[in-house]
Amino acid sequence: MVQYLKKKWDETAPHIWSMLKQLLVPAILAACYGVWDWSSSGGNFELSKYLKIVMPALFFLMWFVGLYERQKKRSSDSQSFNTLDQKLESLSEAVNKLSPKHSQPTSTPSVTSGLTFSQEMMTEAETVFKSGHHLAALLQAGVAFEQSVRSFAKASSLEEADRMPLLHILKKVDFLLPKGVEGELHALRQVRNQLAHASEKELRQVDQAERILSSYRWAIDTLEDEAHNKALQRTSR
């Protein structure tokens, strides 16, 4: 019985404490108002009369606090909704930066030395995508894309690539990429960042999932081809 009561107290005590903290300031204000009203009347102090002054004042103050908290929550919900809208808009804008020419998925990787780790991950992502789990597929494709960028950077003698943020890597290897590729890669990085905070419902509103997946495939194959060519150049010297 004691353990049961202790458990119940542990469950309710935080709520009671939170309620008392909300009540503290209104109670002090109501008590002060009661003292001011009693002292200004000049009569003898009587607890019952004092409480009749304080309790309505306390009720009014708590009603006002309740209105304030509801308005605060409504503003918070509205702000969260606006943030969600901005997030979706940012994702849509990032997707629109991707070139339409990558809308057709690559059937087979162009690297002739076999699948790389990034391409294997990308192939798995495409399988997951076909099963209907679009967000999970795109998140994995984003990881594969990041791994491919890091592999390309290391192949370009940027040894510290494993410890650098993706944006810094892309800025350092921009001049090594074929003309026009760097803009696409930066757009894919933005898409990856937005997808990390998206839900399946949000993704359906964007309605560009297949285009994103195809662009990831194109980017990974392009980067792996470039990394492969750089490796061949080093061995041929």
pLDDT of residue 135: 85
**pLDDT digits over 99-140, tens only?**
666 655 444 444 444 578 888 999 999 999 999 888 889 899
> What residue ranges of the chain have pLDDT lower than 70?
72-94, 96-97, 99-114, 198-207, 230-237
Buried b (16+ CB within 10 A) or exposed e, 38-72: beeeeeeeeeeeeeebbeebbeebeeeeeeeeeee
Residues 127/111, Cβ–Cβ less than 8 Å: no
Query: What is the pTM for the complete model shown?
Result: 0.54
**pLDDT digits over 192-212, tens only?**
888 877 666 666 655 678 888
Q: Comparing C-alpha atoms, which of 231, 222, 216 is closest to residue 156?
A: 231
